[in-house]
Amino acid sequence: MKIVRRRSKVLRRQFRWWLVPQVFWLTIRSFRIALLVSVLLTAGCMTYLAQWIHVRHLSTRIQSLEQEREQRVLTLDLLEVEITHLTRPQRLEALAVQHLGLSVPSLEQHGILRLVQNDFAAPATTLPTAYTE
């Protein structure tokens, strides 16, 4: 025959001290898990923020470089127009006459007149020849 001990009803309502370490350990463990999750979440947010700032910096840099490129292209176009204006043969001829005292060369100075006269005297089946003296 087995002896059964009966507990009183007062002890059933009494605080059970033997459960305190287990509850404490579970609380600590859940706190560690919460701390780990919050640290990982914070690290992830900071990484995202750093990447976002980096992308914003790069986009600003790209935009400034594109604006600088557009300005340089416009400057090059303007310089090309100025070069074509400044190197016009009529303008250069006028400047040479005005400032350097040069004149337009005559045909005799180049020997072109003699070359043309010699070519008309040659038969039509031959190619024109250069002037030689």
Helix (H, G, I), strand (E, B) or coil at 45: helix
Query: Which is more confident, 53 or 98?
Result: 53
Distance CA 44, CA 77 (A): 49
pLDDT digits (tens, 9 = 90+) for 61-82: 999 999 999 999 999 999 999 9
| 105 belongs to a structural domain | no
Alpha helices in 87-111 (DSSP H): 89-95, 107-110
Residue 76 lies in a domain: yes
Tokens representing 53 are: 């700032």
Q: Would you say residue 60 lies in a domain?
A: yes
Query: pTM of the prediction?
Result: 0.45
Q: How far is CA 72 from CA 69, 81, 84, 103, in A?
A: 5, 14, 18, 39
Domain assignment present for residue 35? The answer is: yes
4 found inside a domain: no
How many angstroms from the chain centroid is the CA of residue 62? 4
Residue-wise pLDDT for 2-21, tens only, equals: 776 666 665 555 666 666 66
Q: How far apart are CA 72 and CA 66, in angstroms?
A: 10
Question: Using one digit for the tens of pLDDT, what is the confidence trace for 90-114?
Answer: 888 888 888 888 877 766 666 655 5
* Residue span of the structural domain in which 51 resides: 17-87
Quick one: pLDDT at residue 30? 80
Output phi, psi for 101, to 5 deg: 75, 20
Percent of the chain surpassing pLDDT 70: 59
Domain count, the chain: 1
Ordered DSSP codes for 106-126: PHHHHTHHHHHHHHHHS-TTS
